[in-house]
Amino acid sequence: MNAKYLSTIHTMIEQDLATSRQLLALLERETDSTQERDYAAMSELLKEKTPLLDNLKKNAQIRSKLLLSSNQTANEKNWSLLLDSFNDHKVKESWQEVQTTISRCKDINNINGKLINRGVQSHSKLLQLMRGNTQQADIYDAKGSKRTSSYSGMLTHA
């Protein structure tokens, strides 16, 4: 691959850097919204995240096609070798920053997923209690034998 692609690649990397930074900021806001249980804000953030993720995916596909067009396997190693071949420190540095930012996005996204899952579980248990759904519990009697007992968690009767 020759230097005529350097400008195009550099522009694409700079786009990915800006997009990944925007995504990181949205994910940090999502963390706050999740902790505050602001579901309306979470829904809006999802709408804002989708086009950013689409842009990152589109550029990843372009990178893959670029490598495949030069008869190389589309993987991180070959992409890194391609960037090294340009001998342009700025491009390599920008790409490293993209990778670091995306890695941070993945970490925060995993945390947000766990927070959301925990909230769903809490709401589900609370709803079960409010509905008075019966649950099975293992209890021990005076002789130390284990029995299964049903109980109702109904809080009130109307």
More confident residue, 155 or 99: 99
Query: What confidence score (pLDDT) does residue 5 get?
Result: 80
Please determine, for residue 148, whether its predicted confidence score (pLDDT) is greater than 90. Answer: no
User: How confident is the model over 43-63, as a mean pLDDT?
Assistant: 95
In the block, residue with structure tokens 């709401």: 123
Please determine, for residue 108, whether its predicted confidence score (pLDDT) is greater than 70. Answer: yes
Q: Which pLDDT band, with edges at 50, 70 and 90, does 63 fall under?
A: very high
Which 3 state secondary structure label does DSSP give 152?
strand
The share of the chain scoring above pLDDT 70, in percent, equals 82
Q: Which pLDDT band, with edges at 50, 70 and 90, does 44 fall under?
A: very high
**pTM for this model (two decimals):** 0.76
Query: What confidence score (pLDDT) does residue 125 get?
Result: 77
Angle at 116 between CA 111 and CA 119, to 5 degrees: 130
DSSP 154: -
Please determine, for residue 137, whether its predicted confidence score (pLDDT) is greater than 60. Answer: no
Query: What confidence score (pLDDT) does residue 157 get?
Result: 52
Q: Is the CB of residue 33 less than 8 Å from the CB of residue 41?
A: yes
User: How confident is the model over 103-113, as a mean pLDDT?
Assistant: 96
- The CATH number of 3-151 is 1.20.58.300
What is the distance in angstroms between the CA of the first residue and the CA of the last residue of the chain? 76
Long-range contacts of 145-154 (CB under 8 A, 24+ apart): 153/128, 153/129
Query: What confidence score (pLDDT) does residue 158 get?
Result: 52
